[in-house]
Amino acid sequence: MKTKSQIYKDSLDAWGRGDVEGMAAPYHEDIVWYPNRSMRPVKGKAAMLEFMAKFGAGMSNPHYDQTLMIEKDNMLFVEGTENYTKNGRQISIPYAGVVEFQGDKIIAWRDYFDLKSLEKQLAG
């Protein structure tokens, strides 16, 4: 059985390859996802995929550098940097995330990053 860290990394790697089905494979149908903890939650796998399709428009070369991953019971804590190009602008955002599992499925995910920094980078 894969570790929680590997399930998480496999999902991000699939997103980086443009494999939306592979990215979504470990998400529970009833996932509750906070793209940023300051935002309203996205509820359900279908809504998450819809959000990701909109967010991913104009994005290329997404890749993630994890600097810390800690597993405890059904939880995974992640710290790293999200990198991608969006509409010609290079984006690099440090983030932290708390990912909850139900079995081998991600049931909840809360990301934390500086939204103002992202907005500034997107604006150029």
Closest to 75 (Cα-Cα) out of 28, 8, 23:
8
Fold designation for 4-123: Nuclear Transport Factor 2; Chain: A, (3.10.450)
Q: How far apart are CA 30 and CA 44, in angstroms?
A: 4
pTM, two decimal places: 0.92
| pLDDT attached to residue 1 | 86
In this structure, which amino acid lies at residue 110? Answer: R
CA 44, 34, 12, 50 dihedral sign is positive
| pLDDT attached to residue 36 | 93
pLDDT in tens, the chain (124 residues): 899 999 999 999 999 998 989 999 999 999 999 999 989 999 999 999 999 999 888 899 999 999 999 999 999 999 999 999 999 999 999 999 999 999 999 999 999 999 999 999 999 8
Domain segments of the chain: what residues? 4-123
Q: How far apart are CA 123 and CA 35, in angstroms?
A: 19
